[in-house]
Structure 1
Amino acid sequence: MALSPRLSPQLSVVVAAVRKAGKRLLRDFGEVEQLQVSVKGPSDFVSSADLRAEETLRQELSRARPNFAFLMEESGASGDDDWEHRWVVDPLDGTTNFLHGIPHWAISVGVERRMAPDRTELVAGVVYNPASDELFWAERGMGAFLNDRRLRVSARKELRDAVFATGIPFAGTPGKAEFSQVLARVMPQVAGVRRFGSAALDLAWTAAGRYDGYWELSLKPWDIAAGLVILREAGGFAADPEGGDPYAAGSVVCGNQVLQPKLRELVAEGVAYARRHQTRGEARPEAPSGGTPAGSDTPAA
């Protein structure tokens, strides 16, 4: 697919890099059973494909912008500590999907600019799913796009009509009690809840109106840097459960202007309830009346 004429020179660099890394990932995806896989945590895998993709992105982006620093999922922070711009990179978001042959995974590259010693802003982002050849991209003030089509968040206004996306904490990681309490509040009020396994694509799909909103707790900067720019440029709103900066907090609740505050209220209630009961030493608090019991195995719609 030819590059969109709307792309700035900076984003053209990113798109070329993610497409090159994407071609290599697709070859590995076709031979997923032969990948050498090491375990880096409970239910959190890193493959040789992941590492190769990160190195490809580092080489391509460094060549085009040698003065930019990096924050990358596998290798961490690098470059000048006094950076003005940096790439925030997840070379393979949705690794578990990838390793199971599920074609829902993406490369995510955000651009972060330092405005002051203690203040930065996200100014551009690209989320690319090589398996579907869907390229989501945005630059601050320029709108958001899927390939060459402009994106807008959904226009739904009622919770009962909405489909939300979320992420479920892996086994052995914190946040299970909070998630259970939030889900107990959300599910009785909405048309459905989906868990697809890629935060970057959850944000991009919310920007495209496929989801009406999305929430997830305890994320990393590379999970959401690009997606937040795309979402906001598509007219979406994002905050952490308390209404603060989701990028700084690492937790996000997003949607359109009407649904995002409603969803954020439910998420905040669930998180606060779980944490109050954890403080009191109650390992299994009850869900609110009419909700799904905490710890229930009832699947999302």
Structure 2
Amino acid sequence: MALTAAQAGAAVVHAMYGASLARFEKTAGDFATAADVEAEKAILDVIRAARPDDAITGEESGRAGPEGAERGWLVDPLCGTLNYAVRNMLVGVNVALRVGSEVTAAACADPFAGEVFWTDGARAYVRRDGADEPLEPSSDSRLVDVNLDPPFPNEPDFRAVRLLADAGFVERFRPRVVSTTLAVAWVAAGRRAAYVTDGHLRDSVHFAAGIALCQAAGCVVTGIHGQPLHTGAGGLVVAADQETHAALLELIGAQRPLGSPSVLPG
């Protein structure tokens, strides 16, 4: 159902693209558009029709449903609103189902490529023209997406923007900044070698689907210093393979001031 819900949201995003859309201010420098709101409604309609007793957390509508529900949905109806508002097609529609503490199903739809990256919790696929193809991570492109959006809870120990100026990073990788978590799904699909962001991402409507896809596809997924996800400093490093992951951790670790305690993977 995550896939069906994401497709419903993506259809709305696609249909409203290019129109003059009302904007709704959220925080300084951040806003939603009418497309965000309508896409979320379409997604929630699909979920509520099939699972009326599930809890839902939507980026635009907040949390709804019974307290303490075992099943909860995390919905980001339009990831890349700033891109979309200036008629840039780099956006994603994210839907994830959490059962207990685990995300057991997730989908990230690309409204303009007509693709949906999805997982049943065990394997990961991309659906295109009604056919499913297994996702296969690869670091061959050397493209690493770096999220530069705030907040930056780990500065001064880490700032993602400093990776872009690091000679070792430039020598080994080719940076990209697309400003949508669709790029996380691209790591699972072999279209990015890695993705790096700061932040505390537990139960994030933006990141839950992409993280689940990458885990199911066999990517290396950890916190910013290689620690278990959602622990310690937080953050996210998702890489196509161990070699790429290790190289990024070395570059990230080099930002830490002398005398700062190291954080070992565990």
Q: TM-score, normalised by structure 2?
A: 0.85
Task: Give the conservation status (yes or no) of the 8 Å contact 1:88–1:112.
Answer: yes
Task: Give the conservation status (yes or no) of the 8 Å contact 2:145–2:192.
Answer: yes
Amino acid at match of 2:7: R
Amino acid at match of 1:202: A
Task: Give the conservation status (yes or no) of the 8 Å contact 2:169–2:251.
Answer: no
Partner of 1:196: 178
Other structure's SS at 1:231 match: helix
Gaps spanning 5+ residues in structure 1: where? 1-12, 115-119, 277-301
Partner of 1:132: 113
Written as runs of structure 1 = structure 2, the 5 A alignment for 1:151-166 is 151-156=135-140, 162-166=142-146
Deviation string 1:28-55 (CA, Å, 9 cap, x unpaired) is 1131xx1011322233221111111112
Distance of aligned partners of 1:60 and 1:112 in 2 relative to their CA distance in 1, 3 Å threshold? same
Task: Give the conservation status (yes or no) of the 8 Å contact 2:3–2:106.
Answer: no
Amino acid at match of 1:262: A
Distance of aligned partners of 1:106 and 1:155 in 2 relative to their CA distance in 1, 3 Å threshold? closer
Q: Which has the higher helix share?
A: 1
Deviation string 1:118-154 (CA, Å, 9 cap, x unpaired) is xx1121110001111011001222x111111111110
In the aligned structure 1, how far is the partner of 2:95 from the partner of 2:219? Answer: 19
Computed over aligned residues only, the root mean square deviation of the Cα atoms, in angstroms, reads: 2.3
Written as runs of structure 1 = structure 2, the 5 A alignment for 1:68-107 is 68-107=54-93
Partner of 1:39: 25
Higher gyration radius (CA)? 1
How many residues are paired up? 248
Other structure's SS at 1:135 match: strand
Amino acid at match of 1:14: A
Other structure's SS at 1:273 match: coil
In the aligned structure 2, how far is the partner of 1:219 from the partner of 1:89? Answer: 17
In the aligned structure 1, how far is the partner of 2:180 from the partner of 2:229? Answer: 17
Counterpart check, 1:216 vs 2:197: yes
Other structure's SS at 2:191 match: coil
Task: State the Cα distance separating 1:216 from its structure 2 match.
Answer: 0.7
Counterpart check, 1:234 vs 2:217: yes
Q: TM-score, normalised by structure 1?
A: 0.75
Sequence identity of aligned pairs in percent? 25
Runs of 4+ in 1 over 6 A off after TM superposition: none
Gaps spanning 5+ residues in structure 2: where? 261-266
Distance of aligned partners of 1:163 and 1:54 in 2 relative to their CA distance in 1, 3 Å threshold? same
Counterpart check, 1:26 vs 2:14: yes
In the aligned structure 2, how far is the partner of 1:216 from the partner of 1:246? Answer: 12
In the aligned structure 1, how far is the partner of 2:31 from the partner of 2:91? Answer: 14
Task: Give the conservation status (yes or no) of the 8 Å contact 1:88–1:225.
Answer: yes
Amino acid at match of 1:257: Q
Task: State the Cα distance separating 1:267 from its structure 2 match.
Answer: 2.1
Task: Give the conservation status (yes or no) of the 8 Å contact 1:239–1:246.
Answer: yes
Amino acid at match of 1:233: A
